[in-house]
Structure 1
Amino acid sequence: MPKLVVVVDDNPEILSFLKIILEKNGYKVITSKSGNEALHILENVNKIPDLIISDIKMPEMDGYELFTKILENEDLKNIPFIFLTALNSEEQVLKGKSLGVDDYLTKPIKKKDLLAVMKGKLKRATFTSKPISISEDLNIELDDIALNLQDKPQTLLFLMKWSEDYGARLQFLFPKNLGSSEVQNLGQRLMQTAMSLRNREKDSEKLPIQGGVSVDLKSLHQKAYIYFDTIQNNDIYMMAVVTPKLNYNNILELKKTFKKMFLKMKQSKTFTVESYWKRIFYILNTT
């Protein structure tokens, strides 16, 4: 089913330009010439849109106010949002970031940039849309993972990377010979957990942009600890260990170890993930 995109701009030429490009690339498009009209459309549309693209400077209701109104609506607040902004408008970008918008398209809009930003935004939204139950101590349950661990080592180590350009990718897996689609799917779901926590930080001061969380993989009878952080260029990295047993002391020591690894990555220092494997294995078997 085509993704539904709402485009808001008081310039009819820009609306027409964006509508033509998006429809040619398989999107279904609803256009609106004002913030008030867009809000009315959003509150009465049959299908919740997959993405909103809005100009900032508009009469009556500008893009900032539209975005704020959307955040106040429980049915609409999770729709990905992209601002259109004029060239060299640093003040507009800073104000948008203070509201929680982190994606912008600069006018005049280039087709390649438009499609790339939309693709990244929609990938992240899809990746983080599956429900996850979070308790106050940040312990998460994932009970729909399918993975055959028979005749395989019971402890796995993942390094995943999330980029706006291509979504989630596996950077490292130990043991290396377990790169099956099932194992990679497990890494994807753990990365989804990290991204969900990071995105929900906007709605709760309890959830950090970087940090760790324990995960109960019920269907696998396994536990996991994941640690995530932004390294550079807004790329988010996640380190995760999956193991049969995980206690509080394990988690404390794993967090210290992962922090050291991420610090080296931030400082662009050379190191290998393998060099930390013995330390991680020691933590899991002695603490």
Structure 2
Amino acid sequence: MEIRPLILIVDDNPDILEYMKGVLEHNECEVLTAENGEDALAKLKSSEEEPELIISDIMMPKMDGYDFFIALSEQPIYCRTPFIFLTALDKPEDIRLGKLLGADDYFTKPVDEDTLLASIAGKILRNMKNKKINMELNKFLMESKESFKSSLPKEDREKIILLEVEWDDRMGPQTTNSYPETSNQEFLESLGSQLYVAASTIYGSGDFSKAEGAYISIENFGMDGYALFDSYTDKSFRGGHKEYMFAVVAPKISYLHTLKIKKVLQELSNKTKDRQNLDFKKNWKALSDIITHTPL
């Protein structure tokens, strides 16, 4: 039997909750409802199942949508759950703020039902594929447990690793750069390749037509990762473009960290497209400063 995805809806208007519940249940979803952010956090704590997606209003008593989103962003269990704002706030500055916080989508009421359902379906699919990445990567690391541990320096800051992986038409994914160097460089090269291979389950081989980011939880080792995949036009490669990935692995990466990490990795990607030399040490330091300081 096909599993019905669980969606949490948060709104202080009972009519909207009832309407949205009916629409989603009609489209083969399980639904959990809450009246405000505080109520939603309590419902999540007592729920035996994690939602695949959260839809929240902004203007609510006790805890509004902004504070609810920020609270979730600091919880490892929910920081990567797709989040959609559905609100009456329709001014450009409101929409900018919602997106700046990092929400996956922002819709204003009244919303077109088909548009909302399409967004929900796409984000649930992406979330499920992200979970598959994490499962495959953790399986690989469990099989290489001792190598992974020995590859990490003792100091927390030094445990932050920056990797560059390129796709080679003959050899497959190849780790071409990493920092800092360790005594087990061969394993880091293998880790980079595994990250790249796992990512293809989300985007599909040869489908990095635009920059895409993915959060990776290496649960069995208390580590997190964030990877940015991109490509540039080059007719000498199969498909007419060169694919590559930049990734950072660290003891802890919060959702708010990833907003800044993505900018650093995007700068590396832009320089790659412009065929500029990369200063890996300088960029590693920038990433380390982001990760070792309190996020926004």
Shift of 1:39: 0.9
Shift of 1:7: 0.3
Question: 1:15 aligned to 14, 17, 30, which one?
Answer: 17
Deviations along 1:111-159, one digit per CA (max 9) or x if unpaired, are: 111111112222332333323589522255344959xxxxxxxxxx946
Contact 1:96 1:102 in 2 (8 A): no
Q: 1 or 2 for the larger relative contact order (CA 8 Å, sep ≥6)?
A: 2
Aligned equivalents of 2:89, 2:128: Cα separation in 1:
30
Gaps of 5+ in 1: 147-156, 177-186, 214-226, 230-254, 261-287
SS in structure 1 at match of 2:126: helix
Q: TM-score, normalised by structure 2?
A: 0.53
1:79 corresponds in structure 2 to 81
Say yes or no: does 1:136 pair with 2:161: yes
RMSD: 4.1
Shift of 1:67: 0.9
Question: 1:107 aligned to 101, 109, 114, which one?
Answer: 109
Amino acid at match of 2:46: N
Aligned equivalents of 2:210, 2:232: Cα separation in 1:
10
- What is the count of residue pairs matched by the alignment? 196
Aligned ranges for residues 34-73 of structure 1 at < 5 Å? Answer: 34-73=36-75
Q: Which has the higher helix share?
A: 2
- Flag the 1:162–1:14 CA change in 2: closer, same or farther, 3 A: farther
SS in structure 2 at match of 1:73: coil
Gaps of 5+ in 2: 142-158, 164-177, 179-190, 199-204, 213-228, 276-296
Contact 1:201 1:208 in 2 (8 A): no
Question: 2:118 aligned to 113, 116, 119, which one?
Answer: 116
Deviations along 1:170-225, one digit per CA (max 9) or x if unpaired, are: 9999435xxxxxxxxxx8xx78x87x9xx977425773337479xxxxxxxxxxxx
Aligned ranges for residues 205-284 of structure 1 at < 5 Å? Answer: 207-209=261-263, 211=265, 256=272, 258-259=273-274
Amino acid at match of 2:209: K
Contact 2:74 2:254 in 1 (8 A): no
Amino acid at match of 1:5: I
- Flag the 1:171–1:50 CA change in 2: closer, same or farther, 3 A: farther
Deviations along 1:44-76, one digit per CA (max 9) or x if unpaired, are: 211111110000001111101111111222222
Contact 2:82 2:104 in 1 (8 A): no
Aligned ranges for residues 146-161 of structure 1 at < 5 Å? Answer: 158=206, 160-161=208-209
2:238 corresponds in structure 1 to 175
SS in structure 2 at match of 1:128: helix
Aligned equivalents of 1:205, 1:78: Cα separation in 2:
12
Q: Which has the larger radius of gyration?
A: 1
Which of structure 1's runs of 4+ aligned residues deviate more than 6 A? 170-173
1:276 corresponds in structure 2 to none
Aligned equivalents of 2:209, 2:7: Cα separation in 1:
27
Aligned equivalents of 1:95, 1:41: Cα separation in 2:
26
Amino acid at match of 2:208: M
